[in-house]
Structure 1
Amino acid sequence: MIFAPEALVLLGGPLEATPQLKEAAGKARLVVAADGGVRHAEALGVEPAVWVGDFDSVNLEDLTRWAHLPRMEYPRDKDATDAELAAQVALKSHPASILFAGGLGGELDHELGNLMLAVALARRGVRTAVSSGPTWAFALVPPGLELDLEPGTPFSVVPLTDLKGVIIRGGRWGLEDAELPLGSGHGLRNVAAGSVSLKLAQGRAMVVANLP
């Protein structure tokens, strides 16, 4: 399994309920729905414990289908996204890992915000991934992470800052104690030979994998 989250946050972006995503979702001991993300619950076969947000992107069908869920409702004029509010709820259970499903695609500002939120959580010691189903993004911070990828899976290391001490093993192209400056494409479009080991001494990045 590519990722086994202890907490699952359902966001309202595009989502395809791929076998890998459904398997990962089923491992979560806590599910939090953020606003319109609740509509992904049925496709993933999960039941949210709580429904969070300002409820500006839900419809009557959502409200009827999930009327039994406990809600935490916020005003539309607020200083945090629904993803952040849902993450705050999830963090109260002290998870070692969080998956944001439905966090890629859609509106660019929210997509970038979700990715930055993932990195911020990883810096706090919470392993974090964001997925649309076919595409997964993993926050990469020191000391690194291990990914159990199928041979032939494309993956990329995208620097969000200057990176130092980069080690990539298990890809068609490896690196040893390398530097990848912000804006570098040197880590893009690698191909997994199997399990991939990614080490990082300094900096922050996203690892993007396109699953078959």
Structure 2
Amino acid sequence: MRTIAIIGNSPHTYPDLQIYKNDVDIWIGADRGSIELIRQKVPVDYAIGDFDSTTEEERGIIKDYCNEFEEYPSEKDETDLELALLKAFSLQPQCILLFGVTGGRLDHELVNIQLLYKIVCNNIKGSIIDKNNVLELTMPGTHKISADAYYPTVSFIPYTKVVKGLSLTGFYYPLTKQDITWGSTLCISNKLIGKNGTFSYEEGILLLVKSRDTIQK
């Protein structure tokens, strides 16, 4: 399975990318995300964007480090992240991981979450990963979920106005054939009671969020 990772420009949310090095086949830096890949000593297969958030010196470093550098004008229809995503689609992956795309401007964060819809509509598994959360958009059917000690809390948020027939098995708070709608908090802050569980539903689109509480220093 070909997996592509795209690194955006939200510096306070980056996880340790070394954890994912063995699982990722191609790394794409979106604008200043390329600098984070270099900082974490991860290969930059593609560097894409207008690079308006980098200095001339930093752009030179990126060009020397990456395999392919694609610079776009700052006045364009797509964000740098969407340009990186379009490049990823052209490489025909089965999975796309998005890092550094949350925790900054709220308008960017909301639209970046919506990009998961574009990914799943291309029959590709997609996830947004940061220090405290993993987000995945799912379609109707039965889905297996495994316990994750780093992201122990599991929430389900309806992406469409209604998600019909949601059932949760293997959770502390089980559910059977329940419809959930926009604004419902019924499926927030659940946990698995064993190593694995399942969730299934009949209609709609559901956002799965695995998370951990922010550690205060």
TM-score scaled by structure 2?
0.85
Aligned mate of 1:135, from 133, 138, 148: 133
Q: Flag structure 1 segments of 5+ consecutive residues without an equivalent.
A: none
Alignment check: 8 A CA contact 2:140 2:200 kept: yes
Question: What is the CA deviation profile of residues 180-210 of structure 1, one whole-angstrom value per residue up to 9, with x for unaligned ones?
Answer: 1111111101112232322232212221111
* Residue aligning to 2:168: 168
SS at match of 1:171: coil
What is the percentage of aligned positions where both structures have the same residue?
Answer: 23
Partners of 1:174 and 1:146 in 2: CA distance: 14
- Mean Cα deviation higher: 138-147 or 25-34: 138-147
* Residue aligning to 1:154: 153
Q: Given the superposition, is the C-alpha separation of residues 25 and 186 from structure 1 closer, same or farther in structure 2, using an over 3 Å criterion?
A: farther
Alignment check: 8 A CA contact 1:38 1:62 kept: no
Alignment of 1:183-198 (within 5 A): 183-193=183-193, 194-198=195-199
Q: Given the superposition, is the C-alpha separation of residues 47 and 169 from structure 1 closer, same or farther in structure 2, using an over 3 Å criterion?
A: same
1:208 equivalent in alignment to 2:209: yes
* Residue aligning to 1:12: 9
Greater radius of gyration (CA): 2
* Residue aligning to 1:107: 105
Query: In the TM superposition, what is the alpha-carbon distance from 1:63 to its structure 2 partner?
Result: 1.8
Alignment of 1:19-168 (within 5 A): 22-42=18-38, 44-60=40-56, 62-68=58-64, 69=66, 70-143=68-141, 145-150=143-148, 153-161=152-160, 162-168=162-168
SS at match of 1:119: helix
Partners of 1:6 and 1:114 in 2: CA distance: 19
Partners of 2:58 and 2:170 in 1: CA distance: 43
Return the letter of the residue paired with 1:153. Answer: P
**What's the Cα RMSD here?**
2.2
Q: Given the superposition, is the C-alpha separation of residues 145 and 35 from structure 1 closer, same or farther in structure 2, using an over 3 Å criterion?
A: farther
Q: Flag structure 2 segments of 5+ consecutive residues without an equivalent.
A: none
Alignment check: 8 A CA contact 1:104 1:111 kept: yes
Alignment check: 8 A CA contact 2:14 2:99 kept: no
Return the letter of the residue paired with 2:113. Answer: L
Q: Given the superposition, is the C-alpha separation of residues 192 and 203 from structure 1 closer, same or farther in structure 2, using an over 3 Å criterion?
A: same
- Mean Cα deviation higher: 137-146 or 164-173: 137-146
Partners of 1:169 and 1:59 in 2: CA distance: 51
Query: In the TM superposition, what is the alpha-carbon distance from 1:12 to its structure 2 partner?
Result: 0.6
- Alignment coverage as a number of residue pairs: 207
Return the letter of the residue paired with 1:9. Answer: I
